């Protein structure tokens, strides 16, 4: 399954995104129309974090990837340096990235959408701003970023 082949899912994703974030999220694709994503700018305490919320090929079995369209310090914690989507950039670590666990902190395609990912991105960026100024990440792990 993918966001292209699962037509019903595509419609639901768009509806969820527009209901939650209105027109602030831009619907985009690459020139070959093989990769689709949302562009959005997270604004936290005067800082702007442009992100792409991109759909992997096996979406919704896998969660969307939140990719920074801005450079982050090399020692930024809670990020993944690579992903499955063919787009450059550091990924926000917002879900337990292993595959074999089903816990509170895993993606669930029954209920979760890319719109939720943008909500999580706000919380992650808030934690990041605290880390920049204090050196301490205010939540211990990605589990608490998702909550």
Partner 1 sequence: MNRDELFKRTRQVLNPQLTAKQAVLVVGAGSGGSRVAEEIVRFGTGRVMLVDRPNETLEEHNIIRHALGYRDMGRSKVAALRDRLLDIHPQCDVRTHELDVTRDEAALAELVSRATLVLLCTDNERSKHALNAAAVRAAVPMVFAGVFDGGCGGEVGRVLPGQACYACIAAYLQRSPIASQADESVETFDYANPASMQQSTAALNIDIAQIALLQARVALLTMLDDPAGEMDGNYLLFGNRAVAGLFPRMLTSEIWRIPRAPACMVCSQGDSGNVDAAAEQLLAAAEVMA
Under the rule (CB under 8 A), what is the footprint of partner 1? 1-2, 4-12, 14, 26-31, 33, 36, 39, 57-58, 60-62, 77-80, 93, 96-111, 113, 140-143
CA distance 138 to 51: 21
The nearest distance, CB 42 to partner 1, in angstroms, is 19
Residue number, 27 or 48, with CB nearest to partner 1: 27
Judged by beta carbon, residue 2 or residue 44, the one nearer partner 1 is 2
Residue 109 or 119: the one with the smaller Cβ distance to partner 1 is: 109
Q: Which residues contact 107 (CB under 8 A, 6 or more apart)?
A: 60, 62, 63, 95
Cα separation, 60 vs 52, in Å, equals: 17
Q: How far apart are CA 112 and CA 106, in angstroms?
A: 10
Shortest separation between residue 44's beta carbon and partner 1, angstroms = 20
Nearest to 39 by CA among 26, 21, 20: 26
The closest alpha carbon to 87, from 36, 17, 26, 27, belongs to 36
Smallest distance, Å, CB 46 to partner 1?
25
Q: Which is nearer to partner 1, 46 or 81 (CB)?
A: 81
Closest separation in Å from C-beta 101 to partner 1 = 6
């Amino acid at each position: 399954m993918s966001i292209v082949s699962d037509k019903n899912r595509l419609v639901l994703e768009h509806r969820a995104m527009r209901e939650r974030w209105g027109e602030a999220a831009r619907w985009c694709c690459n020139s070959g129309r093989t990769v689709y994503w949302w562009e959005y700018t997270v604004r936290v305490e005067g800082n702007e974090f442009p992100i792409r919320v991109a759909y992997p090929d096996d979406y919704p079995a896998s969660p969307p990837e939140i990719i920074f369209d801005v450079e982050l310090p090399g020692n930024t914690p809670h990020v993944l340096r690579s992903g499955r989507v063919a787009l450059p950039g550091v990924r926000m670590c917002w879900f337990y990235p292993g595959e074999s666990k089903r816990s509170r902190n895993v993606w669930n395609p029954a209920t979760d959408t890319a719109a939720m990912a943008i909500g999580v991105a706000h919380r992650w960026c808030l934690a990041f701003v605290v880390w920049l100024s204090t050196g301490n990440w205010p939540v211990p792990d990605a589990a608490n970023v998702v909550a």
